[in-house]
């Protein structure tokens, strides 16, 4: 029997002497590292080019400083190993000087993104455009929702999912080059896992070639990576703190808190603290099994109690009241009913009650004159008799002069008309024609003491009109045409149904 000779592994060193092979290997390593340092912003002059040995050494030293390696300036084994680890594809800063300043003052600074900016609103929508086919859709959506809630739990931000159409922040999976520039082309498994853009582009892209997972076992944990990229879309740069979620390198889900003190200071520096209660920190073990989740992390009585008063710990989209003095509080794709005695229902989906009504309405009101519900979103309006959408609706009401995206809608008894508020103006609208009455809009100064940008209003059985914005209310006297009191609605208006407002907050 003739034994076949085992083939020698192919190597670039074949045909070269040991010394020549070592030189070639070092040259290739240096070229690869130069591309890495250019991609992630470690040279003073951005973009590809020829860099002097001194510039290269300084860039390597800055990279070592950021990754907490000995500052040798040499491409030693630990440095090469660190560069090869999976990480975020978003750059590490605009200049090596900026990184050096961040590294030396990390204990005293809050990460902000002077080049990326911030969102100038607190209510943001997001959309999951696509996802890996091997992951269940409902689990992906739960993981993404939880990732956004990480940030809203420690800031004043509020997020809502848009199932289709436009959204402020879009999450998309791509293969390889996807028209973001060659520097942002995905490189297959390992390397850059994802990248994102600062406000207000609102895009986060994920490498489809990675093996993504929603569990704590094998694969890249999608929840952790999504949460990190969301940070970028909100305006956060990479952090030099190793334990921070915004550290550039991938880390597995652990039992520790997902957000570090550095992450929390960073997001609060941009958007402020939660307007109700204190920031909520959650350990990584909470996010290990999304397949077991329903709508909340809590079970039993705690879940029912939390769901019924969730709107008390956040903001709502709109509010109105009916003939029986029931309150209707709207948020996203759900609404709550609060009875005249102050008892709140669990959140109810909009669709069964008002078929065809989209989530995230801008304003609504119930008319004492006609007994009809009016809803407004964008430039369109809906009118319902009970649960029946009237023929011919929705209509493009902005074509009749009504404001797009009104802040607040109200039926005003004295005028027997609808009133829409938008910024520093208000519009009086006829129910019959849904057109703006002559001589309007007028200045909000007619409503003495009322601030612009309210989120909703209602006529209460005590004879006053109540306006709401964030966690504040304004009590308006219809006879005097002025604000006569203001305060915190969740704690000072018992009829809002927030009996357990001081008992803590929930994740969802």
Q: Is cis: bond before 186, omega within 30 of 0?
A: no
Q: Do the domain assignments include residue 197?
A: yes
Instruction: Confirm or deny that 362 is annotated as ligand binding.
Output: yes
Instruction: Confirm or deny that 344 is annotated as ligand binding.
Output: no
Instruction: State the Cα–Cα distance between residues 322 and 73, nearest whole angstrom.
Output: 71
> Among the three residues 240, 269, 292, which one is the final residue of a domain in this structure?
292
Do 310 and 421 fall within a single domain?
yes
Instruction: Confirm or deny that 263 is annotated as ligand binding.
Output: no
Instruction: Confirm or deny that 115 is annotated as ligand binding.
Output: no
Q: Do the domain assignments include residue 241?
A: yes
Q: Do the domain assignments include residue 90?
A: no
Instruction: Confirm or deny that 319 is annotated as ligand binding.
Output: yes
81 by Cβ neighbours in 10 Å (0-12 / 13-18 / 19+) ranks as exposed
DSSP string spanning 324-373?
T--EEEEETTEEEEE-TTSPBPPPEEHHHHSTTPPSS-SEEEE-TTT--E
Instruction: Confirm or deny that 88 is annotated as ligand binding.
Output: yes
| CATH code of the domain containing 372 | 2.110.10.10
216, 189 Cβ separation under 8 angstroms: no
Instruction: Confirm or deny that 246 is annotated as ligand binding.
Output: yes
Q: At what angle do helices 18-39 and 53-66 cross, to 10 degrees?
A: 70
Structurally, the chain folds into a number of domains equal to 3
75, 57 Cβ separation under 8 angstroms: no
Q: Do the domain assignments include residue 462?
A: yes
Do 308 and 283 fall within a single domain?
no
Do 278 and 138 fall within a single domain?
yes
**Which two structure tokens, joined as six digits, stand for 408?**
């607040």
> Among the three residues 37, 65, 84, which one is the final residue of a domain in this structure?
84
Do 228 and 305 fall within a single domain?
no
Nearest to 287 by CA among 230, 238, 222: 222
Q: Do the domain assignments include residue 486?
A: yes
> Among the three residues 271, 292, 313, which one is the final residue of a domain in this structure?
292
Question: Which active-site residues does the annotation give?
Answer: 229
Instruction: Confirm or deny that 409 is annotated as ligand binding.
Output: yes
Instruction: State the Cα–Cα distance between residues 268 and 264, nearest whole angstrom.
Output: 6
Q: Do the domain assignments include residue 503?
A: no
Do 212 and 77 fall within a single domain?
no
Q: Is 0.75 topped by the overall pTM?
A: no
Do 230 and 309 fall within a single domain?
no
Instruction: State the Cα–Cα distance between residues 470 and 148, nearest whole angstrom.
Output: 19
Do 453 and 371 fall within a single domain?
yes
262, 246 Cβ separation under 8 angstroms: yes
Instruction: State the Cα–Cα distance between residues 227 and 244, nearest whole angstrom.
Output: 12
* pLDDT by residue, tens only, the chain of 508 residues: 444 444 444 443 444 456 665 666 777 788 888 888 888 888 876 655 677 888 889 889 989 988 889 999 999 999 999 999 999 998 886 434 444 554 454 444 444 444 558 898 889 999 999 999 888 888 899 899 999 999 998 999 999 898 888 899 999 999 988 877 777 888 888 889 999 999 988 999 999 999 998 876 678 999 999 999 999 999 999 888 888 899 999 988 876 778 888 888 889 999 998 876 666 666 666 676 654 454 333 333 333 444 455 677 667 889 999 998 999 999 877 899 998 878 888 888 888 899 999 888 899 999 999 999 999 999 999 999 999 999 999 999 999 999 999 999 999 988 999 999 999 999 999 999 999 999 999 999 999 999 998 989 999 999 999 999 888 899 999 989 999 999 999 888 989 988 655 443 332 2
> Which spans in 42-156 are helix H?
53-66, 77-83, 96-104, 137-152
Query: Within its chain, how far is the Cα of 68 from the centroid?
Result: 30
Q: What is the pLDDT of residue 49?
A: 61
Instruction: Confirm or deny that 180 is annotated as ligand binding.
Output: yes
Q: What is the pLDDT of residue 170?
A: 96
Q: Do the domain assignments include residue 98?
A: no
Backbone angles phi, psi at 382, to 5 degrees: -125, 145
Going from the C-alpha of 507 to that of each of 153, 368, 409, the distances in angstroms are 7, 37, 30
Going from the C-alpha of 196 to that of each of 88, 178, 193, 289, 360, the distances in angstroms are 9, 13, 11, 26, 25
Do 144 and 242 fall within a single domain?
yes
Q: Is cis: bond before 394, omega within 30 of 0?
A: yes
Q: What is the pLDDT of residue 13?
A: 42
Instruction: Confirm or deny that 317 is annotated as ligand binding.
Output: yes
103 by Cβ neighbours in 10 Å (0-12 / 13-18 / 19+) ranks as middle
375 by Cβ neighbours in 10 Å (0-12 / 13-18 / 19+) ranks as buried
88 by Cβ neighbours in 10 Å (0-12 / 13-18 / 19+) ranks as buried
Domain that holds residue 68: 19-84
Q: Do the domain assignments include residue 491?
A: yes
Do 341 and 480 fall within a single domain?
yes
- Round to the nearest angstrom and report the end-to-end CA distance of the chain: 71
Handedness of CA 51, 53, 58, 61 (dihedral sign): positive
């Amino acid at each position: 029997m003739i034994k076949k000779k085992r083939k020698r592994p192919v190597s670039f060193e074949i045909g070269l002497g040991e010394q020549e092979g070592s030189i070639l290997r070092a040259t290739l390593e240096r070229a690869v590292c130069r591309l890495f340092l250019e991609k992630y912003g470690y040279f003073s002059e951005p973009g590809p080019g020829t860099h002097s040995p001194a510039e290269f050494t300084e860039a390597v030293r800055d990279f070592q400083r950021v990754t907490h390696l000995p500052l040798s300036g040499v491409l030693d084994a630990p440095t090469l190993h660190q560069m090869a680890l999976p990480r975020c594809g978003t750059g590490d800063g605009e200049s090596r000087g900026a990184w050096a300043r961040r590294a030396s003052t990390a204990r005293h600074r809050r990460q902000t993104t002077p080049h990326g900016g911030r969102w100038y609103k607190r209510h943001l929508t997001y959309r999951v455009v696509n996802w890996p086919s091997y992951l269940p859709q409902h689990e992906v959506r739960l993981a993404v929702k939880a990732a956004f809630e990480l940030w809203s739990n420690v800031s004043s931000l509020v997020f809502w999912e848009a199932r289709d159409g436009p959204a402020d922040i879009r999450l998309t999976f791509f293969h390889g080059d996807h028209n973001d520039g060659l520097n942002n082309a995905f490189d297959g498994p390992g390397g850059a896992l994802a990248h994102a853009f600062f406000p207000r582009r609102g895009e986060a892209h994920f490498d489809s070639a990675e093996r993504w997972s929603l569990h704590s076992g094998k694969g890249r944990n999608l929840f952790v990576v999504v949460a990190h990229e969301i940070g970028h879309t909100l305006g956060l740069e990479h952090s030099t703190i190793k334990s921070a979620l915004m550290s550039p390198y991938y880390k597995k889900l652990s039992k520790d808190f997902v957000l570090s003190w550095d992450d929390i200071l960073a997001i609060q520096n941009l958007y402020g603290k939660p307007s109700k209660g204190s920031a909520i920190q959650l350990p990584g073990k909470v996010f290990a099994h999304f397949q077991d989740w329903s709508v909340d992390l809590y079970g039993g009585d705690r879940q029912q109690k939390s769901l019924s008063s969730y709107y008390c710990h956040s903001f709502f989209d709109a509010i109105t009241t009916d003939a029986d003095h029931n309150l209707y509080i709207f948020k996203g794709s759900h609404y709550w009913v609060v009875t005249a005695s102050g008892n709140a229902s669990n959140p109810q989906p909009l669709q069964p009650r008002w078929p065809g009504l989209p989530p995230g309405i801008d304003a609504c009101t119930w008319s004492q004159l006609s007994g009809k519900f009016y809803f407004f979103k964008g430039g369109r309006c809906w009118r319902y008799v009970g649960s029946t959408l009237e023929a011919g609706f929705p209509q493009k009401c902005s074509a009749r002069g009504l404001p797009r995206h009104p802040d607040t809608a109200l039926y005003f008894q004295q005028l027997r008309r609808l009133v829409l508020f938008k910024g520093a103006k208000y519009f009086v609208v006829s129910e019959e024609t849904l057109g703006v009455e002559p001589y309007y809009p007028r200045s909000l100064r007619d409503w003495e003491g009322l601030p612009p940008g309210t989120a909703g209003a209602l006529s209460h059985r005590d004879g006053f009109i109540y306006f709401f914005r964030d966690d504040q209310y304004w009590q308006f006297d219809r006879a005097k045409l002025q604000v006569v009191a203001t305060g915190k609605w969740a704690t000072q208006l018992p009829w809002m149904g927030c009996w357990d407002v001081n008992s803590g907050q929930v994740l969802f």
